[in-house]
Amino acid sequence: MIWAFVDCENVGPLKNIDFSPYERVILFLGPNNHTLSLPAGTGYLIQPIQVAKGGKNNLDFHLALHMGMHHGTVPMSVAFHLISNDKGMDVLVEHLMSLGRPCRKVPVVLSDVAPKPVVAQPPTKQTHHSPSDPRITKLIDGLKSANRPKKRQSLLNWIGSSMNGQSPKPDPEVILNELIKRKAIRENGGKIEYCLKT
């Protein structure tokens, strides 16, 4: 079971996000978010939380408060996904994971063109990697060693250091999502499982 906590101030139109994996979707709305345009679909409970006043990081504080309150009351088998492009929220996700909560941040592509409904990554020139992309192939080869990262944050750090020297440097989240998409790895409760042929 997965719950989504959505930072509506920085993810763009909600209709472009695929909420189908989630049982519950908690939307955090700023004082200027007056209308919601959600994707068609059923099967998930939507709970909007309107923050009455604006201010730097005010919505982020409310989001962190509610994630913490739910962490204290919801069974640990429920995974939390924070749908946000705010890199400052990474530490909140890491902290919840350190407390044993399956948790991850899911960034969203922001685009002016009519996007397909996706849960994806921030835009870079490397957002779409072809199956023959030599950088991804080289990265997958590097993960075939016996000494590979076992946790999400460790893998993100490893990807970041492996991509040093590339210009522009790809976002490790983008690469990690591509590895999951290619079924080279999968995430299970904050732990990384490898599906690589050695």
DSSP state letters, 61-129: HHHHHHHHHHHHHS-TTSEEEEE---GGGHHHHHHHHHTT--EEEE-----SS-PPS-------TTSS-
Domain count, the chain: 2
Segments forming the whole domain that contains residue 7: 2-106
Residues 96 and 151 in one domain: no
Q: What DSSP designation does 171 have?
A: P
Residues 80 and 153 in one domain: no
Residues 72 and 166 in one domain: no
Is residue 129 included in any domain, yes or no?
A: no
Is residue 7 included in any domain, yes or no?
A: yes
- 144-161 pLDDT per residue, tens: 776 788 888 888 777 777
How would you class 4 by CB atoms within 10 Å of its CB: exposed for 0-12, middle for 13-18, buried for 19 or more? buried
Residues 80 and 41 in one domain: yes
Residues 88 and 163 in one domain: no
- 27-60 pLDDT per residue, tens: 888 887 766 777 666 667 878 888 877 777 778 8
Phi, psi of 156 (to 5 degrees): -60, -45
For the sheet with 45-50, list strands across it: 45-50, 24-29, 2-7, 79-83, 103-106
Is residue 127 included in any domain, yes or no?
A: no
Is residue 81 included in any domain, yes or no?
A: yes
- Predicted model pTM: 0.54
